[in-house]
Amino acid sequence: FVVALSGGSTPERFYHLIGSHPYGEKVDWDRVHLFWVDERCVPKEDKASNFKLVFDALLSAVPIPGENIHPMRTGEGPEQGAREYEEDLRAFFGRSRPPMFDLIFLGVGEDGHTASLFPGSDSLDERSRLVVPVYLGEPRKDRITLTLPVLNQARHILFLVAGHSKAEMVRAILGKEGDRERYPAGLVYPANGQITWLIDEEAASKMKDGRWKMEDER
């Protein structure tokens, strides 16, 4: 079972839950492989590292084999890191077809970004590369990220969204009168997979009449 993990405070709480009793004991960790959706170009022990977030919340609590953990390497910069991780993906999944993750965890930013795919970025138009560099500079940090073709090849996408600050973006992407294709998170829609949005009451507070556009489009 092959999973790609995101950073962020909402996924972090979910990782804590997965690794806690009794849920952590119910998973056959020998059969789970973990990859990352995106990563900042910082050391692994840096508090901004998505690897550190996942390690502290999940990996430190479960008996997953080290060879089943596939972090992004960013020490040589975003371009080199993106090339190396793309090679890792092709070596793991095979070179004859695009990678197909069983599950990808994603969050949504207040600006509608997901992974490290930001509004207006050239990376949104990428169709051939699996992993690309993202140059944001300080204080947001340069990064590497999976591209939309990889996300949209997944068997299951799970969005985790919480808090009042996300309510307007949830409405813009999922509401009947929204325009989801304006936002990177709205462009994640696997053609042959499933997509699930887990949204708390605060993040869903601006949805009118509980109407969800994506459900009607299926």
Give the β-pairing of 143-146 and 2-5. unpaired
Q: Which residues pair with 199 in a beta bridge?
A: 161
Domain segments of the chain: what residues? 2-217
Task: Supply the pLDDT for residue 211.
Answer: 55
The strand order across the sheet containing 194-199 reads 69-70, 33-36, 2-5, 103-106, 156-161, 194-199
Mean pLDDT of 152-169: 96
Distance in angstroms between the alpha carbons of the first and the last residue of the chain: 26
**pLDDT digits 0-9 by tens, 22-46:** 999 999 999 999 999 999 999 999 9
Q: CA 212 to CA 46: how far, in whole Å?
A: 38
Span 128-148, average pLDDT: 92
**Position 212 confidence tier, pLDDT thresholds 50, 70, 90:** low
pLDDT higher than threshold 50 for residue 52: yes
Residues 169-176, mean pLDDT to the nearest whole number: 90
> Given this model, what pLDDT does residue 218 score?
44
Phi, psi of 210 (to 5 degrees): 65, 25
pTM (two decimals)? 0.93
Does the domain made of 2-217 have the CATH classification 3.40.640.10?
A: no
